[in-house]
Amino acid sequence: MGKYDNDVRQLLTLIGGKENIQAVSHCMTRMRFVLVDPKKANEKAIEDLPSVKGTFTQAGQYQVIIGNDVSVFYNEFTAYAGIEGVSKDAVKAAAKTNQNPLQKIMGTLGEIFAPLIPALICGGLVLGFRNVIGEINFFNNGTQSLADISQFWAGTYNFLWLIGEAVFHLLPVGIVWSITKKMGTTQILGIILGLTLVSSQLLNGFSVSSTPADEIPVWDFGFAQVEMIGYQGQVIAAMMAGFVLVYLEKFFKKICPEVISMIVVPFCSLVPAVIIAHTIVGPIGWAIGDAIGNVVYAGLTSNVRFLFAAVFGLLYAPLVMTGLHHMTNAIDSQLLASPSKSTILWPMIALSNIAQGSSVLAMSVLQKKNERAQQVNVPACISCYLGVTEPALFGVNLKYVFPLICGMIGSCCAAMISVGFGVEALSIGVGGLPGILSIKPEYYLIFLLAMAVAVVVPFTLTFIVGRIKLSQEDRFGKDAAPAAVSAEASAPADTNASASAAAATETAASKTEVKELKSILDGKVMPIEEAPDDVFSQKIMGDGVAIEPSNTVVTAPADCDVSVVMADTGHACGLTLSNGVELLIHVGVDTVDMGGEGFNLLVNEGDHVKAGQPLIEFDPEKIRAAGHPCTTMLIVTSEGSASNLTMHTGTDAKAGETAVISWD
């Protein structure tokens, strides 16, 4: 009988049976299924299995999170089901067959915008701060701002535009770079192409609408003239130019002999791409962007704007779950590039963040005695109020459904108030409660009213419905049975035994020499919540740290045993310390898809290693070329006899020297 015999049998049934499995594989922590009909999977029942830590669907794959023991589970599952596992590439290829063209487009769009989001958030905060110090007349009977009465703040106001301009005016540079990164072509060529779109030699794109046609500068080639127009803030034109460069480079790489590739490919790719960008795709992209922006703006300012706002406010959260919300980034950026230099769309997005966060807040109150639920509720609520809704949507609201709907209703009400009064934002990127910083000062009071609605309505509805729908187990946890109360009441009779057990535990702990884990890499140590993978950032596998590496060799964080390795891919391994602490090291995100390319596993399962001993060698350029982040996770999957874990983040660590995790 296998270790997971019962769970394996149930999983096969709950996932729809053998006939519903098109392909199956596994990575370091998850079973990866491609299902014939994903709707047949009983998600709630699967998540209730003892060995399952969670489920989610990504890129056409239904992923079941098991943990470090996933290889054992996988072997038992495939043996019982009578099916053969396939390679990671085969699963990925099969998964694409489950995606329609729109899903593929949205997936690509999401991967392009994802690396730009931190810059947009930073830029939004900077412009929001500029609003406060330079646009709100707090002084002299409402006639002067802080910048008007103080030279220091006036200088600060002007200085901060340096960052704001870099983020929003020069956005095409980031877009074209991100496209080349996503498509695995030469990123510096993408940066150069982006710079040619926003060069100071060109008429600033934001000035085009106010410049008479006969005053727009041109390149005169004798037989033709080309307008010297910049594409500051333009999204669609930049994306089209980026894809032109990508496909030109791929074409010339294919036909050019390797011996002259270094010279021929960059020249033959970049020069035509710049010409095509300024003569063909740039003007076309500008026209498309203007058309989209005009349609959205017309809808938001027309007589039916309340209906438009109601629909958008209601449906934005589901859009986030499908990935379609990334299109709004392009629309918002286009609206900011319009003559008004503002957007009515972004305030509704910030309000939707708040509404979903308020639903989670109500769930947190309802489940305040459910410790396991609170581990998800609290961080999800905080991240939602700060503008990141995925943890709340997937971890809480979608799980119970009614909080999602209550949040959607609150968002709908708040959106109608915002659009009804014409609330405008001067920047994007800052969502949730801080989103008010991006709002034009004259709309602060109205937006505060909309925010209040986005808090009160979802919270009240979720609380009322939750009192009715949530079971005792949902509210108080699995250990809230009457027997638990009885056991607690009888605890005094076992005082001596408990004291003896505690003393024994303390004695064992005192003998444990390992009290900390050293960094496994040189690089920046970040909170695990910032990991670019929801399984890690939501701590489904456990707490830990994420590291942005500046070297290429992963080393052991302490003396330990190698308990599990991914021998075929080399991108991850599991470790066990003498005090029972179990660790997971995972290099990159979704790097299992690389099939071992760029990785060299230096240890075997069962090896005993010393602190600082090399475990995995990797090639960051190959990882990035494959479109994956190099962020490496060090996760404590089981605390053993350790207690009160402390994560040391925000530092530049040295492998084998800097402590990144410690405990009592």
Tokens of 394: 């997937």
Contact 577, 583 (CB under 8 A): yes
DSSP 8-state symbol, 573 = E
Residue in 27, 406, 412, 630 annotated catalytic = 27
Task: Please calculate the CA angle 83-84-85 and round it to the nearest 5 degrees.
Answer: 120
Element (H, E) at 488: helix 482-489
What is the full DSSP assignment across 412-455? HHHHHHHHHTT--BS--S--SGGGGGGB-GGGHHHHHHHHHHHH
For residues 340 and 294, give the distance between their C-alpha atoms in angstroms, rounded to a whole number: 11
Phi/psi region, residue 387 (left: phi>0; alpha: psi -120 to 50; beta: rest), is left
Greatest distance between any 2 Cα atoms in the chain: 101
Phi/psi region, residue 659 (left: phi>0; alpha: psi -120 to 50; beta: rest), is beta
Q: What are the E-state strand segments in 438-542?
A: 516-518, 523-527
For residues 7 and 64, give the distance between their C-alpha atoms in angstroms, rounded to a whole number: 12
DSSP 8-state symbol, 368 = T
Q: What are the E-state strand segments in 469-542?
A: 516-518, 523-527
Phi/psi region, residue 58 (left: phi>0; alpha: psi -120 to 50; beta: rest), is beta
Element (H, E) at 636: strand 632-638
State yes or no: is 256 an active-site residue.
no
Tokens of 315: 């449906």
To the nearest 10 degrees (0 to 180), the angle between helices 345-366 and 444-469 is 30
For 436, list phi and psi in degrees, rounded to 5.
-60, -25
Contact 19, 33 (CB under 8 A): no
Which of 617-653 are b and which e, b meaning 16 or more Cβ less than 10 Å from the residue's Cβ?
A: bbebebbbbbebbbbbbbbbbebbbbeebebbbeeeb
Active site residues: 27
